[in-house]
Amino acid sequence: MTLQTQDIAYEVDGIEMVGHLAYDDAVAGRRKSVLLSHEGSGLAANIKANADALASLGYCAFALDYFGGGVQPPLEEAMAMLGPMMDDTSISRRRAVAGLDVLLAQPQCDAGKVAAIGYCWGGAMSLEVARSGADVKAVVGFHPSMTIDPDSSRITASVLMCVGTDDPFVSRDDRLAFEDHMHASGVKDWQIDVYGGVAHSFTNPDVDAAGIPGLRYDRAAHERSWASMLRLFEETIG
């Protein structure tokens, strides 16, 4: 295996985004591909590491940027940038689809075998990819924002949401509302993995250092959710 990584600059909403591309150049031809959307704190090292890990498994992976510059800004600045995206999901959709377009433009990408995954607000970003009508086969959210939108009726992908019971940003009522929404929207294949006693940002090994209540890394939940994702990929994109 020879892992290849590249920063790719692209523009959306007048902002220069810088995403992270990763693939194994020992894999011949076009590859099954994954679009990654980062947490609300920005494009951090752990998301790039996840893209690299997917590349080592034979995927072409692109971690998009939805803040600009391909960096992790100070937390207060990141939250200020996130606010308008949460208030107007059309912004999130444009930025998510722009990242997808970058991935699809790569010669390593098999456009017929694409999945979208995301973390925190990135989970909502991945749902927005599917709601746009894009041909993605699977959508996975880790400690995601379980947003509700009429365009969920356009989702043809298999959907997997992975969340902890102690996540202060996704209550039990939120989970139940999302279940009802999936039913009402006619989404044919969806599932929610729920991890007991697990908090927000459970996939991020660096989150404990921030000391923010309600955010806590959980290795078991991280590994279990990753395994669930790979099982879904095996079913949908091979």
Q: List pLDDT tens digits, range 150-164.
A: 999 999 999 999 999
Rounded to the nearest 10 degrees, what angle do helices 121-131 and 75-87 cross at?
A: 30
pLDDT confidence of residue 117: 98
Average pLDDT over residues 45-58: 98
Selection from 143, 91, 111 nearest residue 34 by Cα: 111
pLDDT confidence of residue 58: 96
Q: Indicate if the pLDDT at residue 1 is higher than 80.
A: no
82 band by pLDDT with thresholds 50, 70 and 90: very high
- Residue 36 parent element (H or E): strand 31-37
Do residues 44 and 38 touch, judged by C-beta distance below 8 A?
yes
Do residues 123 and 144 touch, judged by C-beta distance below 8 A?
yes
Q: Indicate if the pLDDT at residue 195 is higher than 80.
A: yes
28 band by pLDDT with thresholds 50, 70 and 90: confident
30 band by pLDDT with thresholds 50, 70 and 90: very high
Residue 16 C-beta-side C-alpha neighbours within 13 Å:
5
182 band by pLDDT with thresholds 50, 70 and 90: very high
Average pLDDT over residues 118-132: 98
Domains and CATH numbers, the chain: 3-236 (3.40.50.1820)
pLDDT confidence of residue 211: 92
